[in-house]
């Protein structure tokens, strides 16, 4: 059974005089993979941030499970997780400390955090602050945060950035699991992702 999660109708966002994108409509259901394609500067990040209600819309409306956003913000945020360009990790905290201080409904315990880090293939020392970790390792901490959120909808901005081959494979696997278990994923990318067996929708953005 599929539920309608997020409905976007005629979304338009402009920055000053410049129109970033115009009249984008799409629907995201449970068990669905939604891919945003486009070159650098085509507005992928802006669209993702608009989906998260971080950027106000010039026109159009967003609904979460039928409820208008941003009014229904709290229900929405309880079921979604966003991983953006900036990783949102505190450089002075260790990976586990970063994860235990996430502000989700349920604060993860240390054991849960370690399990999630193992699942994402984090091999950094957990007594080191995040600022000394490599970009790829930090990315894995972010993935662990996404896993721990237990969100229905993942919104990922360029999830493959800074990851090696094994990391890219891992992202594919995690997304597969998420979609397979009835969740859905929206992500932006300029390289194709190796995920098969799920309805994939693609929205192409161009200048």
Partner 1 sequence: MFRWFHKLASTKNFYRLAEIMTPLLAVACALLIGVGLYQGLFVAPTDYEQGESYRIIYVHVPSAWMSMFIYMVMAFCSLLFLVWKMKLADIVAEVSAPLGASFTFLALVTGSLWGKPMWGTWWEWDARLTSELILLFIYIGYMALRSSIENKSSAARAAAILALVGVVNIPIIHYSVEWWNTLHQPASITKLGKPSIHISMLIPLLLMALGFTLFYFVTMLLKTRNVILEREVNSAWVRERIKEDRL
Partner 2 sequence: MGAAFLTLLKRDLTLAMRRRSDWLNPLVFFVIVVSLFPLGIGPDGSLLSEIAPGVIWVAALLATLLALDGLFRDDFDDGSIEQLLLSPQPLPVLVLAKILTHWLISGLPLVLLSPLLALLLQLKLQALPTLLGSLVLGTLSLSLIGAIGAALTVGLRRGGVLLPLLVLPLFIPVLIFGSSSVAAAATGFPVSAQLSLLGGLFFLALALAPWAAAAALRISAES
- Binding residues for partner 2 (CB under 8 A): 52, 54-56, 74-75, 77-78, 80-82, 84-93, 97, 100-105, 107, 129
SS3 49: helix
Q: What whole-number distance in Å separates Cα of residue 32 and Cα of residue 76?
A: 17
The DSSP secondary-structure symbol of 53 reads T
Rounded to the nearest whole angstrom, what is the least distance from the CB of residue 62 to partner 1 in the complex? 16
Q: Between residues 87 and 176, which has the closer beta carbon with respect to partner 2?
A: 87
Q: Between residues 23 and 90, which has the closer beta carbon with respect to partner 2?
A: 90
Q: Between residues 35 and 104, which has the closer beta carbon with respect to partner 2?
A: 104
Q: Is the CB of residue 29 less than 8 Å from the CB of residue 57?
A: no
Q: Between residues 56 and 197, which has the closer beta carbon with respect to partner 1?
A: 56
Q: Between residues 58 and 97, which has the closer beta carbon with respect to partner 1?
A: 58
Residue 16 binding: pick among partner 1, partner 2, none (C-beta 5-8 Å cut-off by kind): partner 1
Which residue do the tokens 């929206």 mark? 186
Rounded to the nearest whole angstrom, what is the least distance from the CB of residue 70 to partner 1 in the complex? 13
Q: What whole-number distance in Å separates Cα of residue 155 and Cα of residue 110?
A: 25
Which residues, in sequence order, are CB contacts of 122 under 8 Å at separation 6+? 95, 137, 140, 141, 144
The runs of H, that is alpha helices, within 92-149 are 95-100, 110-119, 135-149
Q: Which residues bind partner 1 (CB under 8 A)?
A: 15-16, 56
Cα separation values, 27 from 55, 62, 63, 156, 203, Å = 19, 10, 9, 17, 11
Rounded to the nearest whole angstrom, what is the least distance from the CB of residue 46 to partner 1 in the complex? 12
Residue 52 binding: pick among partner 1, partner 2, none (C-beta 5-8 Å cut-off by kind): partner 2
């Amino acid at each position: 059974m599929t539920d309608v999660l997020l409905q976007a109708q005629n979304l338009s966002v402009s920055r000053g005089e410049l129109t970033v994108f115009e009249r984008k409509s799409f629907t995201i259901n449970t068990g669905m993979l939604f891919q945003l394609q486009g070159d650098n500067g085509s507005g992928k990040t802006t669209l993702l941030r608009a989906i998260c209600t971080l950027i106000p819309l010039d026109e159009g409306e967003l609904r979460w499970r039928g409820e208008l956003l941003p009014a229904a913000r709290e229900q929405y945020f309880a079921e979604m997780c966003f991983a953006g360009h900036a990783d949102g990790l505190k450089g002075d905290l260790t990976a586990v400390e970063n994860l235990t201080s996430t502000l989700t409904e349920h604060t993860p315990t240390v054991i849960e955090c370690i399990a999630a880090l193992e699942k994402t293939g984090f091999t950094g020392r957990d007594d080191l602050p995040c600022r000394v970790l490599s970009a790829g390792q930090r990315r894995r901490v972010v993935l662990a945060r996404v896993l721990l959120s237990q969100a229905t909808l993942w919104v990922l901005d360029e999830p493959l950035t800074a990851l090696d081959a094994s990391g890219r494979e891992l992202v594919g696997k995690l997304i597969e699991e998420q979609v397979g278990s009835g969740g859905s994923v929206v992500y932006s990318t300029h390289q194709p992702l190796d995920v098969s067996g799920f309805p994939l929708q693609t929205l192409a953005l161009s200048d």
